[in-house]
Amino acid sequence: MNISRFCSVLCRQTIIRSQIYDPHGLFTRKTIIRPLILRHSSDNRRQVSTIEAESKTKRSPSLIYKLLKKIPFLNVERHRIAGSAYFLYESIADGLDYMSFMEKYELPDTFYSWFVLTELHIWMLSARAMAEDEDGHILRNSLVEALWTDVAKRTQKLGQVNPAAMRVQIKDLSEQLQAAFIAYDEGLQSDDIVLAGAIWRRMYQMQYTSPHHIEDIVRYIRKHMTLLDNLSLDQITSVTPVKWEMAIRV
């Protein structure tokens, strides 16, 4: 991957409407995003099937099944998937070697670094889940919900913090998470150059870093997306958590 092509960038503006987290609930907010689109050759373009819908040959669910799914306490599968999302989140928060990531890729040992690393792994699971229609939406939303629950607990451990300022910061993180998911999705559907640009902007905040670090992270993402793509939703939500292993430079 030619990381030096970072220098060739175009800017465009996108307006999205996204759900924003707030300690008092969720609300919809219009956000202006200006991602950097990097020029690249179509020869290196790679489409990933994880964002595509399931096969159209699937049998449509019966009317009774649809009605039962609308009754919360009868929708056992919905609760099972939501519960599995918390186990998957724990596989990230407890199973990921954050310190090794920060040291290897020269990320500062801060709350922001913890957040963007956690966010990246939640996005990978979410990108795979979105190929599963309604069940995938449940899994994705539950993963994000688990993240905000954990963020709230971690901020409480910081001691005396201005509640109003903390609410503003969490709302900002929520907006940034939505924008990061869009940028990562674009990179996943495009090529390594676009994905690398999204990583550089989000994780390194457009500051200088070794191109090899970004190249390794791109390889890490591609590797785990391939692994997730080869698993069914039942396998992903099984008792055995997903294992996150850092890429080894050859």
How long, in residues, is the chain? Answer: 250
Take residue 50 and report the two structure tokens written for it.
Answer: 């994880």
In a domain, 69, yes or no: no
Phi, psi values for residue 29, rounded to 5°: -140, 140
Per DSSP, the three-state class of 66 is: helix
| Residue 237: HSE in the Cβ half-sphere, 13 Å Cα cutoff | 24
Take residue 131 and report the two structure tokens written for it.
Answer: 């190929």
In a domain, 248, yes or no: no
In a domain, 88, yes or no: yes
User: Predicted confidence band at 10 (pLDDT cuts at 50, 70, 90)?
Assistant: very low
Domain count across the chain? 1
In a domain, 66, yes or no: no
In a domain, 54, yes or no: no
In a domain, 74, yes or no: no
The pTM (predicted TM-score) of the whole model is 0.69
Rounded Cα–Cα distance for residues 144 and 86 (Å): 9
Range(s) of the domain holding residue 24 = 3-46+81-236
157-210 residue pLDDT tens = 877 777 788 888 888 999 999 999 999 999 999 999 999 999 999 999 999 999
What interhelical angle do 111-129 and 76-93 show, nearest 10?
140
222-233 residue pLDDT tens = 999 999 999 888
68-110 residue pLDDT tens = 455 555 466 777 888 888 989 998 998 899 999 999 999 999 9
In a domain, 7, yes or no: yes
**Contact at 8 Å (CB) between 117 and 101?**
yes
In a domain, 60, yes or no: no
Encode 236-247: b = buried (16+ Cβ within 10 Å), e = exposed. bbeeebbebebb
